[in-house]
Amino acid sequence: MAKQSLLKVRDLLIEYGHGKNKVSAVKEVSFDIYKGETFGLVGESGSGKSTIGKALMGIEPINDGTIYYQDTLAFGKTPNLIKMNEKMEHHVKVMKLNQTAITKALEIYAEDYKRVYFKYIEGKYYDLKSKETVEYSDNKIRKIEEGLDLKDHKLVSKSKDPKLKLVEDAVKEIIKRILKLYKLQDKSLALLKMLKKDEIINVDLLKKVTELHTRTNKLTLKIRKSESKMYLTIQEIEKVRNDVRKGKYKSVKRFFFDLGKLLEALISEHKLVSPMISELKQAQKLSSALVSKGSSKKEWSKWINEKFSKTTDEQKLIELEQIKELMTMENIQKTLESSPKYKLPTSSEKHELKKQMQMIFQDPASSLNDRMPVEEIIAEGLDNFPELYKNEFAAQTYIEWFELNNPDKIGMITLENIKYNKVKQFLILQLLTTVGMLPEHLSRYPHEFSGGQRQRIGIARALIMKPSFVVCDEPISALDVSIRAQVINLLSKFQLEFDLTYIFIAHDLSVVRFIANRIAVIYRGDIVELADADELFNNPLHPYTKSLLSAVPLPDPELEKKKKSIKYDPEAEHFDYITDSPKWREIEKGHFILANEREALEIKNQKKKNKKVTQKGA
């Protein structure tokens, strides 16, 4: 039986600051929390875990992304295909401009290569205008003899190669744009997949939009492979030049042969990219036209009519005709914004969500009002939602309790004459005693209690609302070790009694292991690994997860002394992310990791080796 997702987080983006000072605290993370489970979220301080917790409660502004509760939009923004396409179109436009800049720079660099080649190999002057070689008029010898150390000549100089640096920077910019484009494409394809299940969009329209997005995604993949080859070729060219500076080249012919071969490969790969970017640009425009609305739809219709007059290819004409017809249907975005699942919640719906979703805060001292007695603190939720105690079930429960404790007054209180303030007091007292506090504590103030007791009050305040989902934001980090166990046991007990779903946020993996069903590891706003608790501890895959686990103290002092901590160095571990970007991958069933193709392959190979070792041992 498939697990039911109580809460879905999709592409959650939270940023602070503006312009150059903008910082991404949470970087478009996505995950599901299943009904009845405890979902652990672990990371070091500043990783963004508490920010996610507050966003799930609607108390942290969200820049982009959506949070669904019980398959309905709770917080964030309605997914917007129009804006996604606008962003993708912008990235493709910048890629095209960089490609043009590379073309011009490579032309100049190739011509300069010829000039230097003829100067030092044949001793002749290469005229850049006529493309012909002539003898130098001053009869000076410029030819470099074989066997001489090239580092003594001004053959290679950083100042002489600004065009190569320009090519490198432009290729880097294209790769960065591809990464952003990739994320947007994955985001849009995931949304289209969800819309297919919802069956709220016209089948033909959705099919065509998905087809265009899939086409642009495949083209982007091809371009990325070519741009990665170009980047690596530039690095090889730079290596040849560095070898000259280090005195490793004694042959001028060998230098020009090596450099020329690499330059030829660079130009050839670049020529392959240009038509692909042009094709990507056209496919992206068709996609933007198909999802457009309002005045922009008129502009796109005009563009399509112009394409009609210029296109002779029969297949392209058929596609343009199909898109033109599909554009007459109701806009996808309009359908989304009016759909019960995707439209923004009303004020009354947000109010209801506060009852369903509660939070236990990290600091039990500052999260309680010192000027309010415990009874008022817990009663605050009931005052905002009087239906929680002003109902027949609560009243009947109070009457049964009253008659059990006052057998001589049976029948005195009925549903007709009951005072609901008494019912409220009863519910507060009942929950307070359940969390291990005493009746006399109701009149006391928070500063009169220990840290553990204050956290129990915080738990009672959250549970009095009868929520189905609770955010536990490091609820035990400010407590003593002995008190921690009591609070964890209390949370586990309530989960079974009240059918609760938790997200348990912590920085200590060893603690989360004992309460969580699944654990997500977060690093600087990115979720880098997600798996079942036992699987994560027994088979950690991401280097950051391994580093966190190595920091968990061992109870045996001797083993603790011998233990080696693993240091996580992102630059060393992920040195090739610029050419091989990471993506969310399911390595094993239910075990996800943020990794690129090289890292995924290394994990698979290591798994095979471990399997062989196990078989030999058996």
Over 80: is that where the pLDDT of 611 sits? no
d(CA 224, CA 218) in angstroms, rounded, equals 10
Query: Does 613 or 92 have the greater pLDDT score?
Result: 92
Residues 424, 379 contacting (CB under 8 angstroms)? yes
Q: Domain end: 240, 274, 308, which one? A: 274
pLDDT at 158 over 60: no
Contact 506, 474 (CB under 8 A): yes
Structure confidence at residue 153 (pLDDT)? 65
Q: Is 144 inside a domain boundary? A: yes
Express as a percent the part of the chain with pLDDT over 90: 55
Instruction: Check: CB of residue 61 under 8 Å from CB of residue 14.
Output: yes
Greatest CA span in the chain, whole angstroms? 127
**pLDDT confidence of residue 252:** 83
More confident site: 297 or 592: 592
Q: What is the pLDDT of residues 509-525, one digit of tens each?
A: 888 888 899 999 999 99
CB 229 within 8 A of CB 269: yes
What single DSSP character describes residue 291?
A: H
For residues 356 and 147, what is the distance between their CA atoms, to the nearest angstrom?
81
What is the C-alpha to C-alpha distance for residues 296 and 578, in angstroms, rounded to an integer? 35
Alpha carbons 238 and 419: distance in angstroms, whole number:
84
Residue 223 lies inside a defined structural domain of this protein? yes
pLDDT at 561 > cutoff 70: yes
Query: Cα dihedral sign for 163, 165, 168, 171?
Result: negative
User: Which of 472, 519, 514 shows the shortest CA–CA distance to 50?
Assistant: 472
216, 245, 274: which is the final residue of a domain? 274
Task: Provide the pLDDT for residue 139.
Answer: 73
Query: How far is it, in rounded angstroms, from Cα 480 to Cα 435?
Result: 17
- Output the pLDDT for position 117: 85
Among the ranges given (78-82, 249-253, 488-492), the one the predictor scored with the smallest mean pLDDT:
249-253
For the segment 141-159, the average pLDDT, to the nearest whole number, is 68
Strand 133-135 to strand 357-360: parallel, antiparallel, or no bridges (unpaired)? unpaired
* Number of domains, the chain: 2
110 DSSP 8-state letter: H
Q: Examine residue 151 and state whether it is found in any structural domain, yes or no.
A: yes
Predicted pLDDT at 156:
65
Q: Does residue 204 lie in a domain region?
A: yes
| pLDDT-based confidence at residue 155 (cuts at 50, 70, 90) | low
Range of the domain at 593: 522-617
What does the alpha-carbon distance between residue 447 and residue 437 come to, in Å, rounded to a whole number? 15
Q: What is the pLDDT of residue 366?
A: 86
What angle, rounded to 10 degrees, do the helices at 203-245 and 81-117 form?
Answer: 30
* Domain-located, residue 110: yes
Quote the pTM value.
0.87
Supply the pLDDT for residue 531: 96
CB 162: neighbour CB atoms within 10 A?
Answer: 12
Dist. CA 578–CA 174, nearest whole Å: 10
Range of lowest pLDDT (10-24, 142-156, 428-442, 573-587): 142-156
Helix (H/G/I), strand (E/B), else coil: 594: strand
User: Is 289 a member of any domain?
Assistant: no
- In this structure, of 26-40, 74-88, 602-616, the range with the lowest mean pLDDT score is 602-616
Q: Which two tokens stand for residue 574?
A: 């992920």
Domain stops at, among 211, 240, 274? 274
pLDDT > 60? residue 160: no
Q: How confident is the model at residue 314 (pLDDT cuts 50, 70, 90)?
A: confident
On whether residue 376 sits in a domain, the answer given is: no
What integer is the mean pLDDT of 240-260? 85
62 within 8 A of 14, measured Cβ to Cβ: yes
